[in-house]
Amino acid sequence: MSLNPPIRNWRGRRVWVVGASSGIGAAVAKLLLGAGARVALSARSAPSLEALASGFSGDNTLCLPLDATRPEALLRGMEDIRGHWGGLDLAIFCAGTYAPMRAWQLDGEKARAMVETNFMSVVHGVQAVIPGFLAQGSGGIVIISSVAGYRGLPNGLVYGSTKAALINLAENLYLDLAPKGIGVFLVNPGFVKTPLTDKNTFRMPALIGADEAATRIVSGIERGRFEIHFPRRFTALLKLARLLPYALYFRLARAATGL
């Protein structure tokens, strides 16, 4: 069911990808540039952004290196986009970090970094783009969360909490913004091969590549989906697991992960 206005054509559409230097963000940016969109690329690494942009027309790319955990940097980025293109049509928030962690490994500094990068960067980014979207009566916000936010999982201490927070944030944003003509898209991938998941030492069921993930995300946006989750053979099982009573879920989670 389409809960957002479908996107029929990317040509000339103004898109901002925050977290575009690698992984899902880079793959989504390439796919949209190939479809004719104008894409502003943001991440900490300027060389990575420039390398990505070098394969496409300079008129369609805008490199905006920044630290997404700093709200003033995102506000400046939005001003730069407005100055170059007159406004924005879609913001995609992909910035994220991951540190595998069990309860006996709890590290406050690593936890703070995940909260700042995974959650607060999206809050700051949404704050930067909402005024322009409200003024023009249109626009879209894409939040990359994870199925790790569905329920607690071993090794997901703090990381899973940030993803659960993003799911709740997206739901609240949709309730507020959809009546005002602004789309909100929640992306909950399963395991995607990226530099972050390369840290995992356990078997990752239904692992897919970043290019396939980008194709699924863009297709979901084009169809106006609110939640875009994939691969469905894996995410459907986790959705069912959300309905289980705790006693059964905890047993199954331990058995499935071996942790």
pLDDT confidence of residue 242: 93
pLDDT confidence of residue 89: 98
Q: Find out whether 48 and 32 touch, Cβ atoms under 8 Å.
A: no
Would residue 243 count as lying in a domain? no
pLDDT confidence of residue 193: 80
The CATH number that applies at residue 90 is 3.40.50.720
pTM of the full structure: 0.94
Strands 182-189 and 192-193, by their bridges, are unpaired
Cα(175)–Cα(53) distance, integer angstroms: 35
Would residue 114 count as lying in a domain? yes
- 12-42 exposure pattern, b = at least 16 Cβ within 10 A, e = fewer: ebbbbbbbbbbbbbbbbbbbbbeeebbbbbb
Give kind and range of the element (H or E) at residue 127: helix 121-136
Would residue 7 count as lying in a domain? no
CA distance between the termini of the chain: 37
Would residue 2 count as lying in a domain? no
Would residue 247 count as lying in a domain? no
Count how many domains the chain has: 1
Would residue 256 count as lying in a domain? no
Cis ω before 231 (30° cut-off from 0): yes
Q: Find out whether 101 and 159 touch, Cβ atoms under 8 Å.
A: yes
Instruction: Express each pLDDT in 101-116 by its tens digit.
Output: 999 999 999 999 999 9
Regions of the chain short of the pLDDT cut 50? none
The domain in which residue 34 lies consists of 14-234
pLDDT confidence of residue 198: 63
Give kind and range of the element (H or E) at residue 109: helix 108-114
pLDDT confidence of residue 200: 66
Would residue 251 count as lying in a domain? no
Residues forming the active site? 159
Would residue 5 count as lying in a domain? no
